[in-house]
Homo-oligomer: A and B are copies of this chain.
Amino acid sequence: MRTLRVGIIGASGYTGGELLRLLLLHREVEVTLATSRQYAGEYVYRVHSNLRGYTDLQFSDYSVEEITSKCDLVFTSLPHGASMNVIPALMKTGLKIIDLSADFRLKDPADYVKYYGYEHPYPDLLQHFILGIPELNREEIRGSKLTSCPGCMAVTSILALAPVVKNRLVDTEHIVIDAKIGSSGAGVKPTPATHHSERYSVVRIYKPVGHRHTAEIRQELSRIAGAPIPAYMSPHAVNMVRGILCTAQTFPVGMLTVPEVWKAYRSFYAEEPFIRFVRDKRGLYRFPDPKLIAGSNFCDIGFELEEDGKRLVIVSATDNLMKGASGIAVQNMNIMSGFDERAGLEAPGLHPV
């Protein structure tokens, strides 16, 4: 099979570096281009120093002509608000596009006003993008040229809740998600909030209500349920670099047993290559933990039921740079390109780290 030529638009940040780490070793792919306004002309390995020895590529400036001539598919890993400036032009070239920003995740333009505080300049384009969650939309992704990857806490929450929402097992008016996330989720740009002296040992609830990823969670859960679901999410910054744990607190409707919950999850996810169930009676890691997933593309899911059946705690863990960003982006590329869905994503988590 002919090698797929891929480019990365906005390649100097963490998701760009992670795409490079995955794609430089991907057997079906050649990375032909990586743009960065700030680092144009600089060797990629000087910015992503872990890749020293893996590539002689240099960052280039953004040029539609160059992109068109060199690439079959591009990943846009630009900051939120910047993707929408380049994507209309890129769409015209006919390239396959996988966007990692928030700019094309939401279907309802009103949600951009509500959650992001601005009018989306290209509301008509929103419908062209498939939300790239293969476990929910694999067939649409396969047939599409335009995929938008979900937010990291959004996808971790959605995958945890989809089966119970689909099967109407819980009271959908009282779903709350407590998310804990590592510092890489804040991106590569230093800020007071990411300053080591302030970020180390912290447990910082930084947006108790109204976090933007709530929009995606509600959009997808409502779509699955066929009715509006007002799920709530509160994100916390914790002292790690990679990873997300979402603890979803739910209240069963009627009596619920452990086997019933199992059945909902097993039938919903069946043969999914990147979903693992974790619920052990002994051992250290009886429930999902992002610590076990570093560098891998898994979403681990587990749950526990209150003894009287009145509360169901659902726990999910991902690597925010993998299943939460670049890993799911590569998974989407694999689907869109007819590759083995696991290609380039075979690594288990590094442990201990």
- A residues with a Cβ closer than 8 A to B are 14, 17, 21, 24-25, 46-54, 174, 176, 178, 180, 182-184, 186, 188-206, 208-210, 230, 232, 234, 236, 238-243, 245, 247, 249, 251, 276, 278, 280, 282-287, 289-296, 298, 300, 303-307, 310-311, 313, 315, 317, 346-353
B348 touches A21 (CB 8 A): yes
- Bound complex: CA A305 to CA B232 (Å): 12
B347 touches A306 (CB 8 A): no
Chain B neighbourhood of A50, CB < 8 A: 292-293, 296, 348-351
- Bound complex: CA A283 to CA B191 (Å): 12
| A-B complex: 10 closest residue pairs judged by Cβ atoms | A208-B304, A196-B199, A50-B351, A178-B178, A190-B190, A183-B196, A50-B349, A201-B240, A197-B352, A203-B245
Give the distance to chain B from A341, nearest Cβ to Cβ, in Å.
Answer: 14
A238 touches B238 (CB 8 A): yes
Q: Please classify the interface of chain A as helix (H, G, I), strand (E, B), loop, or mixed, using the class held by over half of its residues.
A: loop
- Bound complex: CA A200 to CA B290 (Å): 11
Chain B neighbourhood of A249, CB < 8 A: 176, 178, 232, 234, 249
Chain B neighbourhood of A178, CB < 8 A: 178, 247, 249
> A201-B241, A203-B240 given. 12 additional CB < 8 A pairs?
A21-B350, A25-B346, A54-B348, A176-B176, A186-B197, A188-B197, A196-B199, A200-B239, A203-B245, A205-B313, A238-B239, A239-B239
Query: Which listed residue (B208, B351, B352, B353) contacts A287, Cβ 8 A?
Result: B208
B276 touches A52 (CB 8 A): yes
Chain B neighbourhood of A199, CB < 8 A: 196
B174 touches A251 (CB 8 A): yes
Q: A201-B240, A243-B203 are in contact. Are A208 and B353 (CB under 8 A)?
A: no
B192 touches A284 (CB 8 A): yes
Query: Which listed residue (B14, B289, B292) contacts A197, Cβ 8 A?
Result: B14
Name which of A242, A289, A311, A353 has the most chain B CB atoms within 10 A of its CB: A353
Q: A49-B284, A184-B352, A190-B195 are in contact. Are A306 and B232 (CB under 8 A)?
A: yes
B183 touches A200 (CB 8 A): yes
B193 touches A194 (CB 8 A): no
Please give me the residue from chain B that is nearest to A175 by CB atom: B249
Q: A49-B283, A176-B176, A292-B50 are in contact. Are A247 and B236 (CB under 8 A)?
A: yes
A205 touches B287 (CB 8 A): yes
- Bound complex: CA A232 to CA B305 (Å): 12
Please give me the residue from chain B that is nearest to A288 by CB atom: B205
- Bound complex: CA A188 to CA B197 (Å): 8
- Bound complex: CA A232 to CA B304 (Å): 13
- Bound complex: CA A349 to CA B52 (Å): 10
B236 touches A245 (CB 8 A): yes
Chain B neighbourhood of A315, CB < 8 A: 205, 208
